[in-house]
A = this chain, B = another copy of it.
Amino acid sequence: MLRTGQNSGKELADTERIAAHLACCPAFEAVAPDTLRDMLQRHHYHITSHDSGAIVAFRGDRYERLLVLLSGEVRTEMSSYGGKQYTVAEYTAPCLLAPAILFGKDNRLPVSVIATRPIELLRLPRAAVLALCRTEEAFLAAYLGDISTRLGVLADKLRLSRFATIRERLADYLLDQYHLQGSSTLQLPHSRRTQAEILGATRPALSRVLSELAEAGVVNYDRDYVQILDLEALAGLVDSLD
């Protein structure tokens, strides 16, 4: 479903709703509500909704408008000719999608964007974003900061990809979850297949490594439940990467 915003009564209601979403969105949250509404009224935006599982954008597509995830969740992934998927990142609304790519000379998406829940997207013209960058210093700084964080994440993924074994990557993932969940008893939010896609491995290989960690007494697990038994051993696996 595609909705376009430009100065009609129904769209004014949209504008209010979108502005409310943007008030919590990285970069946009730094802008006064009036300025956000003004921006939305001045530029020709689209709203689209997508079902869970929908491929919102393909790797290689031209990226001419900033996508802002208003609701739901997406993951970005690369896939290989042979059908292997590699999950690069996951995003929860509200957030920006591919903020840096918007400004490339050859601005083709380096990843595909897949909805992992039903989502709603705001599609903003590049000119709207550029104008905000120029007039709102806090927006500019936050926008650039957002890009910087993403670049850091990508670089980290590259480093792990190059230097880390599956075991080390799994240790990293489990430690992340440990810090997120604040407990050494974890309910993992991903299926084994999805975990494998995030870690850049195959499901049987991941199972093997998890099984080895269990045999070594580092963890205890059953399906999506993992109990960390030896936190130091796990941290040691990650530390050996630095």
List chain A positions with a Cβ less than 8 A from chain B: 60, 78, 80-81, 84, 86, 88, 100-108, 110-111, 130, 133-134, 137, 140-141, 144-145, 147-152, 154-159, 161-163, 200, 240-242
Q: Which residues of B contact A60 (CB under 8 A)?
A: 242
**Contact, CB under 8 Å: A149 / B105:** yes
**Contact, CB under 8 Å: A145 / B88:** no
Main secondary structure of the interface of A (DSSP, over half): helix
**Contact, CB under 8 Å: A111 / B152:** no
Name the CB-closest residue of B to A82.
B163
In the complex, what distance in Å separates the CA atom of A177 from the CA atom of B236? 41
**Contact, CB under 8 Å: B137 / A101:** no
Known contacts A155-B111, A158-B157, A162-B200, A141 near B147 by CB under 8 Å: no
Number of copies of chain A assembled together: 2
Name the CB-closest residue of B to A133.
B140
Name the CB-closest residue of B to A104.
B148
Name the CB-closest residue of B to A135.
B134
In the complex, what distance in Å separates the CA atom of A209 from the CA atom of B78? 25
In the complex, what distance in Å separates the CA atom of A108 from the CA atom of B140? 19
Q: What distance in Å separates the Cβ of A160 from its nearest Cβ neighbour in chain B?
A: 10
Give the 4 A-B CB pairs with smallest separation, nearest first. A110-B155, A104-B148, A103-B144, A80-B163
**Contact, CB under 8 Å: A163 / B110:** no
Q: Which residues of B contact A140 (CB under 8 A)?
A: 130, 133-134, 140
In the complex, what distance in Å separates the CA atom of A115 from the CA atom of B107? 30
Q: What distance in Å separates the Cβ of A37 from its nearest Cβ neighbour in chain B?
A: 22
**Contact, CB under 8 Å: B134 / A130:** no
Name the CB-closest residue of B to A60.
B242
Q: What distance in Å separates the Cβ of A126 from its nearest Cβ neighbour in chain B?
A: 9
Q: Which residues of B contact A240 (CB under 8 A)?
A: 81
In the complex, what distance in Å separates the CA atom of A200 from the CA atom of B160? 12
> Contact partner of A162 among B78, B134, B150, CB < 8 A?
B78
